[in-house]
Amino acid sequence: MQNKIGPIFLAALLSLYAALLATTTWAQDSKTGAEDINTWAKDVWTRDKLTGDWWGGRTWLSKHGIDIDLRLSQYWQRVATGGVDLNSEYGGTMDYRVNADLKKLLGSWDGLSVNMHARTRFGQDINADAGPFVLPNAGMLMPLPGDYHGTDITGLTASQMFTLFNRPADVTLGKLDIVDTLTGLFPWLSYGQDGFWNLNGIFPVLPWLGPIQGLSLFGGVAMSIHPEYGMPQTGFLAAGTKNVTTTWDVSGSFDQGVFMLGFHRFFWGDPHDKIGHFTITGYGSTKDQASNDPIDFIDIPGQGIVSTERKKPWGVSAFVYQEFWHAEGNPNRKANFVIAGSAGPDNPQFAHWSVFANVEAFGPMASRPHDRMGVSGWYSGLSNNFIDLVSPEVDLRDTWGFELYYNIAINKWLHLTPDIQFVQNEREADDFAIIPGVRLVMDF
């Protein structure tokens, strides 16, 4: 669907609806409409959201179980040197999130909620100009990477909270937005709107691109929640292997196999001060994939060169998270580091292993308590089989890079983030790339 005004239109429509609802519900509490408008305008710079409380409508909806979040993220990036092509692009996404707590909404069925995440993508990005495996703009990967323009519901799930062995637990079923799902399982992650831009600097992603082949998948997640740390501790995910970001084909989602993920997290430290944890994750797919070993390819008359061997991709990942600084009297001002790695077989994945480390500070200066900054570095080793397979066409190498960003909180709903990345992509013929960028995020 080609729709460049979709973000503004939907944000305005939801705001108008809430305003009309509020007008009929709270009219008795207001002296004049003009006074309401003046009050609404005076606090525009200090409110939590640009559109405010919708004359009480946002609070009323939340009390009755409906929370609405609207976010516009805009990006400008340039491949200034090196890479595949010197180029600059502007693009962005609009995120629409609706969470319905059915206990509050209907007065029954405690712990059940329905969550919807829709996204609009507009403009262009420089992901291809930097190199296919570099992934310098994670925020522009959804709903689909490339030249896609449109609005799609990338996630629609029902979640049920319950108690299992005296511990809180959760089961979620539906259309899983994989980005949301992974940030839920690994809560320190961001995906290009608040922290790091480059996906390689926040997740050892390349070995995962064999087993997981979609940004939205039909499936489910079951996990236990640690009662003290309030984070997922043990969990399992199962989903189809067909990408359904822009479709609703439930029937064919599992025809070619199942993607599975299991994890367990070990915690240490005071839950209220400098926590740390170690997470071990295993993942894989029952979907057969063509071998990338050159000896498995033959020339079949009428079909061309094809692989005669098929394998199932799998891998393991490990993550270490540690907070090492807290400001006295303000627990929101802190610093942490993450070290992680992922590895899988040399065949059929095109990336054999990947590691990264990053450090982030939240409120790094007392005078700037809402700013955020970070530095990351990563290295991904490509499969030797894959390198040999494509060598007649292009010479490949391992890819690595560094990133530095500073998120400036202009106010609560407006954030400006300068960013710079230094990367070596996977093509031996391409020079080392320098990629500056600026991101502007607005919460409505």
pLDDT in tens, 149-169: 889 999 999 999 999 888 899
Domain boundaries, the chain: 1-63, 72-443
pLDDT tens digits for range 228-255: 999 999 999 999 998 999 889 888 888 8
Instruction: Report the SS3 class of residue 402.
Output: strand
Burial of 394 (0-12, 13-18, 19+ CB in 10 A): exposed
> What torsion do the CA atoms of 82, 84, 90, 94 make, to the nearest 10 degrees?
-120
- If one looks up domain 72-443 in CATH, what number appears? 2.40.160.180
Is the pTM of the predicted complex or chain greater than 0.85? Answer: yes
Q: Which of 407, 367, 437 is nearest to 76 (CA)?
A: 437
Backbone angles phi, psi at 6, to 5 degrees: -55, -45
Q: How sure is the predictor about 38, in pLDDT bands with cuts at 50, 70 and 90? A: low
- What percent of the chain lies above the pLDDT cut of 90? 65
pLDDT given at position 30: 38
Burial of 18 (0-12, 13-18, 19+ CB in 10 A): buried
H helices of 46-141, where?
Answer: 57-63, 102-106, 127-130
Contact between 179 and 118 under an 8 Å Cβ cutoff? The reply is no
pLDDT given at position 106: 86
Distance from C-alpha of 109 to C-alpha of 379, rounded to nearest angstrom: 47
Per DSSP bridges, beta strands 314-327 and 310-311 are unpaired
pLDDT tens digits for range 328-385: 888 889 999 999 999 999 888 889 999 999 999 999 999 999 999 999 999 999 999 8
Peptide linkage before 348 cis (omega within 30 of 0) = yes
Distance from C-alpha of 406 to C-alpha of 419, rounded to nearest angstrom: 7
pLDDT given at position 37: 58
Token digits for 187?
A: 């809560």
